[in-house]
Amino acid sequence: MTTDIAPYAPGAEDWDSLISSSDEVLGHDLLTGEAADKLVGVPFVITKATFHDGLQRKDVAYRDDYVSCEVVVAPEHVIAQRHSRGRLDAAEISVDPGEHIVFNDGSTGVYRQVVQYLEAKGLIRLPEGPDAGGKGESKYDLPRSQWVDGEEEGTAGFNIRLFAPRGLRVSEYANDFTQDGKTRYIG
């Protein structure tokens, strides 16, 4: 069965009428750098985690992966409640309530937390190895090519519901490699 849609005639419909009769494409704005840092304290739900090839590192025999987290920001009343309790500076927020966003991470923060979550939920299996350590020292840092199973699903993405009531937090550090390092963590 097909539904005939009348041809568009400029001026025949106002914007609201045009939108009300349209199908909507779900899209996510990509947040990077400082904009992603402004998710600190902003409640959200990660709805999908998709893994991608990262850069080849000289000190390991594989490419680091990174994860793209598709996110729905909390509605206005939830954000207002956190703001009223002094836990969130509304002027610092880089997103709108209810907005769909995506951010990427390949660190010992968000990446490691998402992989650990997927393993705990039984969505992937990892080889034996340490749970903690520096970058590349934990089994949760492994790229999907080294998972026991779940690699194919990782490329397609996992539909999940991971609630971050406090949004992200940022840890800044200096070490032998950088004087201005930064790692983001979920809540």
Over 90: is that where the pLDDT of 172 sits? Answer: no
> Does a structural domain hold residue 52?
yes
Three-state DSSP at 167 gives: strand
**Structural domains in the chain (count):** 1
> Does a structural domain hold residue 136?
no
According to the model, what pLDDT value does residue 2 have? 67
State the pLDDT confidence band at 101, using cuts at 50, 70 and 90. Answer: very high
> Does a structural domain hold residue 94?
yes
Please, is 13 exposed, middle or buried when counting C-beta atoms within 10 Å of its C-beta (0-12, 13-18, 19+)? Answer: middle
Instruction: Tell me which residue range forms the domain holding 169.
Output: 25-107+155-182
How far apart are alpha carbons 82 and 42 in whole angstroms?
Answer: 8
State the pLDDT confidence band at 93, using cuts at 50, 70 and 90. Answer: confident
Beta carbons of 131 and 137 less than 8 angstroms apart: no
According to the model, what pLDDT value does residue 75 have? 92
How far apart are alpha carbons 110 and 104 in whole angstroms?
Answer: 9
pTM for the model: 0.82
The per-residue pLDDT for range 45-66, each reduced to its tens digit, is: 999 999 998 777 676 555 679 9
